[in-house]
Amino acid sequence: MEVLLSKYRYGQPANRYLQDLKDLALPVSPGTVAGGLQKLAPLFEPVLEALYIQQMKENIFHNDETRWEVFEEIEGKVGTRWYLWVTRSESVIFYCIDPSRSAAVPGAHFAGLQNAIVIIICDRYSAYKKLARLADNIILAFCWAHVRRDFLDAGRSFPELNEWALDWKERIGNIYHLNKSRLEHWEPELAMNEQSGEFTQCHQDLQDALQLIFDEATRSVTQENTFEQDGARIETPASTPPLSRSARIKQKKVYQSLLEHWEGLNVFVETPAVPMDNNRAENAVREPVIGRRNYYGSGSIWSAELAAMLFSLFQTLLLWKLNPHHWLYAFLQACAENGGNTPSGLSPFLPWTMSDEQREVLSRSLPADSEPTAPDTS
């Protein structure tokens, strides 16, 4: 249990944990740990399947992916770079490991969707765009934090664009502010046309501000195209400071990207439950990334799959504010009582099916001088 928590909850390399045991005169060989982990992995597979089934019932998802090294050669794969994909919904955080970064990976994950229409909040990576083109029931909501980053990156790359970038940073910040004000008056159980007058006014203010952004981006790109048609040299309007050709090209690319993704950037307007950015998915990959920095990935395919499985389990438990120590102790104890097999009934171990009493027990902190308390599974 401690090995699982040490590595997959806290990101500690297994060799450091083994060194700690050795210092306590309790030496354990790496092979023993690896063999034990392989034997434990099948116990969690039914739980992972339950997480997946639950997630596919939901309709708003946050997606992201990050590199993950897997140091095992496979046919047709050059190098050790794999990818850890995360899908976060209201009740589940689900990870999968794959050698590919193609649309086939999220396509396979979302093949089990049960709702007619779902929304995926994501960055502008082409795999998600392809997924949406192939699946009529998927709507993409793009991330305003990435748009904000586009402007700031342009300002850092070209000092002459810095003032322009900071101005756009402020405008996007105002969109966040207007949306926050709107959500303060939002009643989720009511339709948009049934909301309060305060919500309606904030909603209109938000739409007006977005329209101004759209109009200016459109006007800027149109002017740029006019300048380009007049000749090879790009002119600058007299009312603005002169910019270098490279700065103007960069500025145009930022505007074009904003307009190209405008529909996805506005999903949150008519669906207030959708956030403006994908920060929840990016936060979900933070702890695995810490582990990746500490133990450089996985030494084999089975260990990579185990990592994704336990990341899914522990992060979902934390999403429900459950103590992984308590949960893992209770689960492994139940497995031992079932002859070393996964319990036939998983209800006491799934956050959305366990009783309020069980959830309260498993959410307690763990005193240093006590053992975890197993919930009543009867």
The DSSP secondary-structure symbol of 193 reads G
CB neighbour class for 283 (10 Å; exposed up to 12, middle 13-18, buried from 19): middle
Mean pLDDT of the chain: 92
Which tokens in the block code for residue 350? 């799934």
Cα distances (Å, whole numbers) of residue 178 to 47, 148, 173, 267, 272: 41, 16, 9, 15, 12
Which position has the token pair 């790359």?
Answer: 157
H or E element that contains 126: helix 126-134
If pLDDT is split at 50, 70 and 90, which confidence band does 2 have?
confident
pLDDT score recorded for residue 224: 66
Which tokens in the block code for residue 338? 């079932």
d(CA 288, CA 8): 8
Cα 71 → chain centroid: 25
Cα 3 → chain centroid: 26
Query: Cβ(349)–Cβ(374) under 8 Å?
Result: no
pLDDT score recorded for residue 311: 97
In the predicted model, is pLDDT for residue 372 greater than 80? no
Helices 162-183 and 197-230, packing angle to 10 deg: 160
pLDDT score recorded for residue 15: 87
d(CA 301, CA 32): 18
In the predicted model, is pLDDT for residue 173 greater than 50? yes
If pLDDT is split at 50, 70 and 90, which confidence band does 232 have?
very low
If pLDDT is split at 50, 70 and 90, which confidence band does 240 have?
low
Which position has the token pair 């392809």?
Answer: 130
Contacts of 106 (CB under 8 A, 6+ apart): 63, 85, 87, 120, 127, 128, 131
pLDDT score recorded for residue 205: 98
The DSSP secondary-structure symbol of 13 reads -
If pLDDT is split at 50, 70 and 90, which confidence band does 242 have?
confident
In the predicted model, is pLDDT for residue 229 greater than 90? no
If pLDDT is split at 50, 70 and 90, which confidence band does 233 have?
very low
pLDDT score recorded for residue 231: 47
Rg (CA), the chain: 25
Which position has the token pair 């765009």?
Answer: 129
In the predicted model, is pLDDT for residue 182 greater than 90? yes
pLDDT score recorded for residue 371: 57
If pLDDT is split at 50, 70 and 90, which confidence band does 5 have?
very high
Long-range contacts of 168-176 (CB under 8 A, 24+ apart): 171/209, 171/213, 172/144, 172/147, 172/148, 173/148, 174/209, 175/144, 175/206, 175/209, 175/210, 175/213, 175/276, 176/144, 176/276
Task: Please name every residue paired with 139 in a beta bridge, in sequence order, or none if there are none.
Answer: 119
The DSSP secondary-structure symbol of 371 reads P
d(CA 266, CA 211): 11
pLDDT score recorded for residue 378: 57
Query: Cβ(311)–Cβ(87) under 8 Å?
Result: no
The segment with the largest mean pLDDT, out of 72-76, 202-206, 358-362, is: 202-206
Which position has the token pair 């083109």?
Answer: 133
Share above pLDDT 70 across residues of the chain, in percent, rounded to a whole number: 92
Query: Cβ(58)–Cβ(273) under 8 Å?
Result: no
pLDDT score recorded for residue 365: 85
Lowest mean pLDDT: which of 49-53, 193-197, 285-289? 285-289
If pLDDT is split at 50, 70 and 90, which confidence band does 367 have?
low
Closest CA to 65 of 110, 135, 137, 123: 123
Task: Please name every residue paired with 64 in a beta bridge, in sequence order, or none if there are none.
Answer: 86
In the predicted model, is pLDDT for residue 230 greater than 50? no
